[in-house]
Structure 1
Amino acid sequence: MGKFRRQHAKKSKRRTKKKSLQREEEVGENRRAEDEQMQAGGEPVVVDDGRDQEGENDKKEKMVLLLCRDGVELVVPKEEARRYGGTIEGNIKYDEYSNAYGRSISIPNRGYSLISLSLESDVLSIVIHYSNKKRHDPSWDTTELIGGLHHPTLFRLILGAQHLENRGLLGVACRAVAGMIDGKPEREIRAMFGIRPPTPAPDSTLLRKTTPDDRTMTASELELEKRALRALHIVRCQDFTAYDPKRRAFWHSRFCGYNIAFFDLDEESRFGRGPPLHRVREPSIATSSVNVISLKVRESDVGFPINVFGTIIARDMIDYRCVYLFNRDADDSQVITSPDDMLALMDPHRGLVPEDIIYLEINLKIKCDGGATKDFSRGLTDFNICRLREQTMTASLTTWLSRVELEIAHVRRPLEASISISILKGPSVLKRVEAWTSGNIEARIILYSSEVATGTQMTKACYSITLSRRVVFVPLDEKLVVNIVSHNEDENLVLTLGHCDEEDHRVCKMGCSELQVNVSWTAIPKRETNDWREIVGNVWLLK
């Protein structure tokens, strides 16, 4: 069998070589005949030697066919199409890369590479007009382009520019809409763009995708409403979308997982601490919560020390509103001297409930010489309970000038322990106070450090230590452990406290001082999560 294959391969090679020689002879004879005819003064003989077809193929390789959603096709040079947006440029680059390695997946259409676009032909014509104008006149005033567009067309243009990743045109269109709605209440904006007033929260399951009013609207009216909401969402997102030099791309730095057309991203959550334990039955306690242990600056492009200020905000499924973990202005910045230093976090004003994901918005800046400020860490990360492998998880964010790490511990069936410490007699001898739960001794929360202490508060009988953090979330079946370290670190006091209905007071001595540790216990109750959204068709609108 092997011998037969070798013989067959040799015969095939000889046949191929023979055909090639015959083809060369025919081409040579045709060219000689053409030369003789030209010398005789006659018309040249037109011979099809395949070169015209090859030239036509080369020409088509430099073109691309753009297919719009309404079926309109447009053939344009690839170099011109690249200017229409990053989506087309990315498709062309991938196609060229694939062709170079002989595994193109582009769809041929009459010899052209085909790119399907999720926009209409009239929107594409506006994109082309904008691209050509800006190419020849970078200072061209875009008012004439945007000013004459009706609202539905303007919204389709925003959606189309977003799809094409045309940042220039997207910014122009979004600024136009932002100018229309600036300072107007939600009710007026809805009326302006034909969006119905908000409907009551649905009582049924989260899978519900229509509201009763949808049945009274035509399909085109509902589509216009959904398109307006999506466009307004993109307009809002433009406020916190910027080019991140670390990632070398445009990124959102705030939460926008659902439609935020009318959502106030700066409003704090209206929920607070839970009720005392004696008012809550065990089945009414939330399934889980988290302790945010620490935030550390692991890498700094500007070195150390640095003066850090800004905000860290957490959001959960309860209402997706702000729960601050860090909030300092430039006049109250914290000095970070090494990658092991912890940012002085604050207590969340309520327990965070990770039913699915807790989103963490980090917006940290640094003070520079001369009073100038720079973006230091700016972006969005999350704690996803589905990715949890151990009790403690680290969330990392690499942006702008740094890499920061958040350490977060998961707490099942949580209770809130609020801690306070008073000095009854003698001087303050505390250097550090830390706390953890009996089932997770590695996740230690710093409640007090003399290096960043803010002072004490005097009363008639004693004075209380101002703790930077007071609240620890403890599993129902575990205990709270508080470790108090003396100023010289030669003595420490460890208290193990179980939950109880009444406030727990523990008086103890440390050196020549007498301390009182107070712990009050509250519950994190289960809360309804159905009233944070309004559903319009398949658009989930935060409210």
Structure 2
Amino acid sequence: MAETHEEIDCYTELYWADRMEAILEEEEAVEDAERRKRGSGGELKKKRRTTAGVGSSKKEDDNEDPVEESGNEDGAAAESIRQAKSDLARKKKALNAKIARFEGMKKTVEGRKTMTQEDVAAAAVYRAKGEEAHRNKDRKGELAAVIEWIATGDPEAIRISDQWMAENVEDMKLEPKDPTDWAAVQAKDYREFWESLRAGPPISVSWEDITLVQPMRYTDEKPPLHLYPMRTLQVFSVKVAAINEELGWPLGVFGVVAARDSLDKNRNIIFHRERDNCQIIDSENRYLTLTGPTRAVVVVDPVYLEVDLRVKGRTESEDRALSYLGVNCRETGCSESYMFKCVETSKLSTVELTLGDMAESVEATISVKVVDEEWPEGFGGLISARTASISDMEIKLLAFDKLPVAADGTIQLSRRVVSVEARGMLRVSVMPNCLDDRTVEGVSIAFKAREASRSMQMLEVCSCKLEVTIAWSLVTDMV
């Protein structure tokens, strides 16, 4: 089954690359057309300048400079497209090599099996089902039939299924596209292709399924010998950096931001709000209040970040799609952790994701509990975390006007899982703020990272004693 999952991932990425290649071809054609349109006038001006030689006036030179600048811009745009196409070509070559390896493995297995009469009869049934599904463009039904057909050992199954796969990819390229919002088109394509390959037997998962992998897997349990600190993705913030003028501030935002990694391909929720519990953001505060990830995000295969945000209207029919994006984050191979930003623009907004590439890291699950006295009346505050490797970036765990405390004293943090370098430090801070504008100093404590077990320290804020506990765990790249 692991090989089936990996092969599906390869086909998904290959389709994505094919689609991007088609977009680049269109952009290149547009650039060429515009260059030809401007070409004759530009060449004429350049000839006049050459003819004028050293005797040309400064005024003439000034008038002609923009033509050369335009030429430089054209060259830069063309070079950018060429470089992107070159990168895609290398990626497709690698993906095709992996797919060829899988095909070889399937043929080896197929060659070992001798078909019985029951297999021959079953192959005919599943082939017929697959053909009908393919004609009707029922990709889920087609995938289900193909998997059963291949299992019969029919040598035709692999050849025909590969042919259908190629035809499906070509059909997707011809589907109607919204030229004003390529980001949404690509995200929609990725989802449709993902569902056509996964949302059917034997996998039977839904796009909306949430990851079942929990944090603290090896906090109290001895981890397997093959596990070691590994690369993970830190999520610092998600910001609606800009909006189309037709929207206007403030906005009631709801929807999902989630990460999908190699563990189970399901949503690891970073932000999730229903329509009746939307977050109000304005021009002064454009950051979403994050609630995740719920476990460490593993960067082995590319991590897919899904952004599906909507703006609440007066009625549901007046709701607007604020941002529909898909962002791929890949392993860089860098030996040190660093912060980076993904800025993606769609039809109505620009979303900025501030992320951290955490090298050789472990998972830290944070809990804070009131153990003595009460949080002072009239005080709000902020509970946050920082890692020593990217110390200037704050991870907000809870911002509050009134401290949310359970019956046992546990503070209900908005988010609690962060990644920390295995040989690094984690600092947890509590910053109170008086609603009457009185200045009160915050406190912080530092923890040395571990690969398992727990760390606990006490801190005191405004006579309120808090117990901060960190549950450490290694993370895994497979379920």
Q: Fold-level match, TM-score > 0.5?
A: yes
C-alpha separation in 2, matches of 1:260 and 1:380: 15
Asked if the contact 2:300–2:477 (Cα under 8 Å) also holds between the matched residues in 1, the reply is no
- Which residue in the other structure is 1:508 paired with? 459
C-alpha separation in 1, matches of 2:351 and 2:24: 31
Asked if the contact 2:241–2:286 (Cα under 8 Å) also holds between the matched residues in 1, the reply is no
1:255 to 190, 193, 213: 190
Q: 1:508 to 1:305 in 2, by over 3 A?
A: same
Q: Does 1:432 align with 2:382?
A: yes
- What is the percent sequence identity of the aligned residues? 18
- Which residue in the other structure is 2:320 paired with? 374
Q: 1:350 to 1:232 in 2, by over 3 A?
A: farther
Asked if the contact 2:294–2:417 (Cα under 8 Å) also holds between the matched residues in 1, the reply is no
Aligned to 1:228, the other structure's residue is in SS state helix
Q: 1:366 to 1:92 in 2, by over 3 A?
A: closer
Aligned to 1:465, the other structure's residue is in SS state coil
- Which residue in the other structure is 1:269 paired with? 211
Asked if the contact 1:296–1:339 (Cα under 8 Å) also holds between the matched residues in 2, the reply is no
Q: 1:336 to 1:224 in 2, by over 3 A?
A: same
1:253-294 deviation per Cα after TM superposition (whole angstroms, max 9, x unaligned): 363597652313223334322212661367512421111110
- Which residue in the other structure is 1:322 paired with? 267
C-alpha separation in 1, matches of 2:174 and 2:252: 28
Give the drift of 1:383: 1.8
C-alpha separation in 1, matches of 2:185 and 2:474: 41
- Which residue in the other structure is 1:490 paired with? 440
- Which residue in the other structure is 2:405 paired with? 456
C-alpha separation in 2, matches of 1:511 and 1:406: 35
1:106-255 equivalences under 5 Å are 176-178=136-138, 190-191=144-145, 195-197=146-148, 217-218=155-156, 222-231=158-167, 243=178, 245-247=180-182, 250-253=185-188, 255=190
Give the drift of 1:403: 0.4
> Which residue identity does 1:262 align to in structure 2?
L
Q: Does 1:520 align with 2:462?
A: no
1:487-506 deviation per Cα after TM superposition (whole angstroms, max 9, x unaligned): 23521111001235543332
C-alpha separation in 2, matches of 1:198 and 1:272: 35
More helix by share: 2
Asked if the contact 2:259–2:306 (Cα under 8 Å) also holds between the matched residues in 1, the reply is yes
Q: 1:497 to 1:154 in 2, by over 3 A?
A: closer
1:220-259 deviation per Cα after TM superposition (whole angstroms, max 9, x unaligned): x6443223335557889999x8626355994333635976
Aligned to 1:331, the other structure's residue is in SS state helix
Q: 1:254 to 1:310 in 2, by over 3 A?
A: farther
Q: 1:478 to 1:235 in 2, by over 3 A?
A: same
- Which residue in the other structure is 2:331 paired with? 385
Q: 1:486 to 1:262 in 2, by over 3 A?
A: same
C-alpha separation in 1, matches of 2:343 and 2:187: 16
1:331 to 276, 289, 296: 276
C-alpha separation in 1, matches of 2:350 and 2:292: 23
Q: Which moved more, 1:372-381 or 1:426-435?
A: 426-435
Q: 1:244 to 1:516 in 2, by over 3 A?
A: farther
Give the drift of 1:391: 0.3
Aligned to 1:252, the other structure's residue is in SS state helix
1:442-499 deviation per Cα after TM superposition (whole angstroms, max 9, x unaligned): 2210001015x7832123xxx2221101111111101110011012352111100123
- Which residue in the other structure is 1:350 paired with? 295
Root-mean-square deviation (CA), in Å? Answer: 4.0
C-alpha separation in 2, matches of 1:237 and 1:217: 29
Q: 1:299 to 1:244 in 2, by over 3 A?
A: farther
How many matched pairs? 350
Asked if the contact 1:434–1:446 (Cα under 8 Å) also holds between the matched residues in 2, the reply is yes
Give the drift of 1:308: 0.5
C-alpha separation in 2, matches of 1:86 and 1:316: 26
TM-score normalised over the length of structure 2:
0.62
Aligned to 2:164, the other structure's residue is in SS state helix
Give the drift of 1:319: 3.3
Asked if the contact 1:299–1:339 (Cα under 8 Å) also holds between the matched residues in 2, the reply is no
Aligned to 1:379, the other structure's residue is in SS state strand
Q: 1:408 to 1:502 in 2, by over 3 A?
A: same
Asked if the contact 1:377–1:401 (Cα under 8 Å) also holds between the matched residues in 2, the reply is yes
Asked if the contact 1:439–1:478 (Cα under 8 Å) also holds between the matched residues in 2, the reply is yes
> Which residue identity does 2:350 align to in structure 1?
R
Q: 1:244 to 1:309 in 2, by over 3 A?
A: farther
> Which blocks of at least 5 consecutive residues in structure 1 are unaligned?
1-84, 104-149, 156-172, 201-211, 529-543
Aligned to 1:295, the other structure's residue is in SS state strand
Asked if the contact 2:296–2:418 (Cα under 8 Å) also holds between the matched residues in 1, the reply is no
1:404-483 equivalences under 5 Å are 404-429=351-376, 430-451=380-401, 455-459=404-408, 463-483=409-429
C-alpha separation in 1, matches of 2:362 and 2:468: 18
- Which residue in the other structure is 2:223 paired with? 280
